[in-house]
Amino acid sequence: MSRFHSLTWCTLLVAVVAIVSAQPQCPRPTITPKVHHLKASVDTVKWGYYWNQNNPKLYVNSGDTVTVEMVTHMAGDYYDGMVKGDPALEGIYHWTDKQAISVRGATGAGDGVHILTGPIYMCGAEEGDILQVDILDLQPRVNPGNGKTYGVNGAARWGYQFRAGFLNNITREISTIYEIITDAQGMPLYAVPDFQFNVGNGPHTSCVPLNGTYPDAMENLTWSNPNSLYLNAYQPCVDGKQYWTGYTYPGVIFNHSIGSKDYSIREMFKVPLNYHIGNIGVAPKYPIPISSIPPGSYGGNMDNRRIGKGATLYLRVQSKGALLSMGDCHSAQGDSEFDGMGIETSINGKFRLTLIKNTTAPPMLKNLNFPLIENKENYIVQGFAFNHFLTDPTLQPNPQVQVFTPGSNLNLAFTGAYDNAREWLMDFKNMTEDQVNTFITVMCDYGITQVVDGNFGVHLVVPKYAFTHSKKSFEPEVVCGTSTKLPKTCYKHSA
């Protein structure tokens, strides 16, 4: 064999090896669906972005069940109670001036804040297919160091109270720490406030990285943040520390000095638990990483309290493998997410993932182009101020930044929900536009999903009762505003 042929063969062999190694690591389908467990760690989470070039953390087949650990990005508000003693969270929240974890923020500048576990690769999923996510269970993560679960509600600068105005014009960001109360068997009962503190009292961490790469990705992409800028506020690095005056960077660890905690709110009221996932979505078809803050047609930061146990979420696949990620869980939240957050809590979820090929999709899903939620009683049509903000011509050339000002508009969000519902009902139930309008008016409820995520959300609740053949009067089957099953009445009060 000549040297030329030898080199050619070696080159071909290298190419074949490269192709084989690049193929998805899809497991062989089995008669009985497999059960997987995706733990949260520095190797399985990313901080603040969706991207179709992220290497998958888990490969599944249609019908498989997955338990996913989801970590809150707000645990730094109460490090001693929510991080210390939990090795996985200690690793995720470990700060140095070097990049140790997938970027804090979509560009390293804090412009994406959520800790997302994944992505999960659905074998066989192609653009245009539907990913069905059945939420089988959600349970709070118990800190092994103290045996408790805490959550955080941050009344942040992006909350609506900053638009409405404060009494005496004294603006402030306040963090409230909640404890999940359990019974003797450890079953969660409700949440109570424990203490509050003023976020402006100077949280600090080690200095953030100034530049880096997107780790564990199929494409080599770098980011640079030379002055550690966030919201045009320069934060100098002094003696290895940066001092933040508010919620200006995701994952900051607060140093609670003596007297900084206000316990006057302790156990002042009880909050019914409604575990749900605030941020869950597939990877958008977009060439660069997408901030985890504004939601869109791919899902993402919807903050819809109905995405809980008993719900099914349908998402149109935009990238090969779907690449599902999830996080930003809440133990409770009212519609609107008024002050900027729910009770941000680390939660473990159990899911069944099913692939629906576009060619076999039922009428309900055939032309789906928005996140659709279903539970025992309702369909929930999700809409946004900009349903497709990444491709909207008015938001170019940088839509994930430019969406924030025009997207903070309830009129547009209401229209977005109506547009989605009208098209969906006309396809699903073969209605005319005039039939849709009267049906929505007399049968359905619009709700304000959130007014804090840059791309405001409004949803429409469509009762399934309308399409049944039953001769009985309507009886609710879920707790109002959730997907939790309820036997008889809309609200169930304990004695």
Residue 363 has pLDDT above 60, yes or no: yes
Task: Please compute the mean of the pLDDT values over residues 99-108 and round it to a whole number.
Answer: 75
What digits encode the pLDDT tens for the residues 179-233? 999 999 989 999 999 999 999 766 677 777 777 888 778 888 888 766 555 555 6
Percent of all residues in the chain with a pLDDT value above 70, rounded to a whole number: 91
CA distances from 402 to 1, 5, 64, 389, 393 (A): 61, 55, 38, 9, 11
Q: Domain spans of the chain?
A: 35-357
Phi and psi at residue 357, to the nearest 5°: -70, 145
pTM reported for the whole predicted model: 0.92
Residue 68 has pLDDT above 50, yes or no: yes
Residue 12 has pLDDT above 50, yes or no: no
CA distances from 20 to 24, 30, 207, 217 (A): 9, 22, 41, 17
Task: Please compute the mean of the pLDDT values over residues 477-493 and round it to a whole number.
Answer: 72
Q: Lowest mean pLDDT of 11-20, 135-144, 183-192, 451-460, name the range.
A: 11-20
Using CA of residue 28, residue 29, residue 35, residue 38, what is the dihedral sign? Answer: positive
**Is residue 55 helix, strand or coil?**
coil
Residue 121 is predicted with a pLDDT of 99
Residue 58 is predicted with a pLDDT of 98
Residue 230 is predicted with a pLDDT of 56
Label residue 166 exposed, middle or buried (CB < 10 Å: 0-12, 13-18, 19+).
exposed
CA distance 372 to 35: 25
Q: Lowest mean pLDDT of 2-11, 91-100, 215-224, name the range.
A: 2-11
pLDDT band at 152 (very low <50, low <70, confident <90, very high): very high
Question: What is the architecture, at CATH level 2, of domain 35-357?
Answer: Sandwich (2.60)
* Residue 68, number of CB atoms within 10 A of its CB: 26
pLDDT band at 7 (very low <50, low <70, confident <90, very high): very low
Q: Which long-range contacts (CB under 8 A, 24 or more apart) does 2-11 make?
A: none
What digits encode the pLDDT tens for the residues 365-404? 999 999 999 999 999 999 999 999 999 999 999 999 899 9
From the centroid of its chain, how far is CA 226?
A: 28
